[in-house]
Amino acid sequence: MVRCSRFGPEQPISAGSQIGFLHFLLITEDEVRLGARNAESPFSQEGNTAMKTSQNKILKAAGAVMSYTVGIRNYIHKHPELRWTEDRTLSYIKERFLNMTSSEQFAGAVSFKEAEGGLWIDFIFDPDFDQILFRADVDALPIQEETGLTFASWNPGVSHACGHDMHTAMLLGAMRAIASGAVQPVHNLRFVFQRAEENPGSAPRPESGGKVLVEEGVLEGISHVYGLHIRADKPAGVFMSRGGPMMANSDRLKVEIFCTGGHVKDPHIGSNTIDIGVRICQELEGFALRTLGPNEPVSLVPAIFQSGTASNIRPNRAELWFAVRNMLSEGARRAFHCELRDRIEYIVGGYKGAHSTVTYVYGHPALINEERSFRYVSSLLSEATYSVTEAERSFGGEDFAYYLQKVPGSFWYIGAENPDMPGGHHTATFNPREEEMEKGVAFWLLLATSTPSHFPF
């Protein structure tokens, strides 16, 4: 016998999520398979304590989908796509979630939206529940893979060298466990598969996928947001995060210098852009300290210096790029940019016939976790007997920061150091320990089946 849910096609989930609305068979009499529930009101808030899935059951559910999760990772790893070109990847994800929700006894209603910034999928269990958001990024990097894996990239010059294939696989694995009824969420869920996290400001479109999705309304109706990132350079199986600022504004500074140039026999006539560029690099070495003081972490690193074509010509043009990383607030970040521009223009102005163009390329904003969310998730993971440590602040960039600017939540790392192939992030031999994905799936299931009210915050 099958009982029907109160959710029906006539009751849309939310405005803006109408694309591809699906409705499925819900709760069967097989309460063993689907888990014990209150028959009269299976998803009532009053039943949260009874519904809360035991941690042993969650760990078992994560293990049960591990083969599926590994298969997903291997396929996506084999078919990487660069930022804003991830159509095949998103189509594959859509196919997988449609298969799981149509073939399982899924206890809820589902909708999905194909937005410019990616794909989001809603699992709705009770309209009185809050809705939380889980996000995975899907784009790859322009790096030729040299791992020798049997599922290595088939796309020359492109590979998943930052773990986004694993992020996607872990989130799909958690979706499958939930769709099968192995665990019973106490929230409505939004699963986000986002384009274009890497390399903001570059072609074919400068915006990041996270920024675009936030502008497209992915956070509407969301109470909390969570993200998870593999770290191949950290001890395997250890979860890491911190309250407050954790990752940096990831900006870039482009300096174009123009002057008269000329023959090397006439060093006294006009100017040389290499001289000017070297002076800029020297002047900026202590600029952050002098401008912001000793307590503000700032990285101002020269990354590109292009000038000159022959040994007997003083060049008349140069291009410099600096990486600018800091954890300044938005107002202070823009003020620092103005200070940099003014200083560079002052230096160039001291050379005869020289002028410059300074372009500041804004990358991801600083990632700032909510303190309460960090403490909550730390307690949740520790209670599940996982190792948790406080992460160090990093000058890395991450566009999950756009989500956290609008909605409380936290971003987490899971260590997956692989002694057999110790390639770091953004390298040709990057290959984290695949076994740690099981803990990543459990991370999502724990969040889906718990609430902060379970902990004394």
Share of the chain above pLDDT 70, in %: 87
- The answer to whether the beta carbons of residues 192 and 120 sit under 8 Å apart is yes
- Categorize the per-residue pLDDT at 52 as very low, low, confident or very high, splitting at 50, 70 and 90: very low
Sheet holding 355-361, edge to edge: 298-307, 317-326, 249-258, 355-361
Whole-number Cα distances in Å, 351 to 281, 285, 366:
15, 20, 36
Instruction: Decide: 213 and 138 in contact? Cβ < 8 Å.
Output: no
Can you give the pTM of this predicted structure? 0.84
On whether the CB atoms of residues 66 and 441 are closer than 8 A, the answer is yes
Range with the lowest mean pLDDT among 41-50, 143-152, 171-180, 351-360? 41-50
Tell me the two tokens of residue 368. 């700032």
Higher model confidence: residue 53 or residue 113?
Answer: 113
Q: What residue type is assigned to position 230 of the chain? A: I
Domains of the chain: 22-246+366-454 (3.40.630.10), 249-361 (3.30.70.360)
Give 104's pLDDT tier (boundaries 50, 70, 90): low
State whether the Cα torsion 56-235-368-124 is positive or negative: negative
Whether 315 has a pLDDT exceeding 70, the answer reads yes
Per-residue confidence band for 201, with pLDDT thresholds at 50, 70 and 90: confident
Termini Cα distance of the chain? 43
Whole-angstrom Cα distance, residue 105 to residue 122?
16
59 falls in which pLDDT band (50, 70, 90)?
A: very high
* Bond preceding residue 204 cis, omega within 30 of 0: yes
Which stretch of 15-24, 311-320, 355-364, 410-419 has the lowest confidence by average pLDDT?
15-24
Residue 4 carries which side chain, given as an amino acid letter? C
Length of the chain: 457
- Of 268, 349, 347, give the one whose Cα is nearest residue 314: 268
Task: Say what percent of the chain tops pLDDT 90.
Answer: 82
The whole-angstrom separation of Cα 199 and Cα 161 is 13
Asked if the model's pLDDT at residue 373 lies above 50, the reply is: yes
Q: What is the mean pLDDT of residues 329-344?
A: 96
The model's pLDDT over 202-250, given as tens digits with 9 standing for 90+, comes to 899 999 999 999 999 999 999 999 999 999 999 999 999 999 999 999 9
Per-residue pLDDT at 14 exceeds 80 = no
Residue type for position 253:
L
pLDDT at 358 > cutoff 80: yes
- Alpha-carbon distance 395 to 6, whole Å? 49
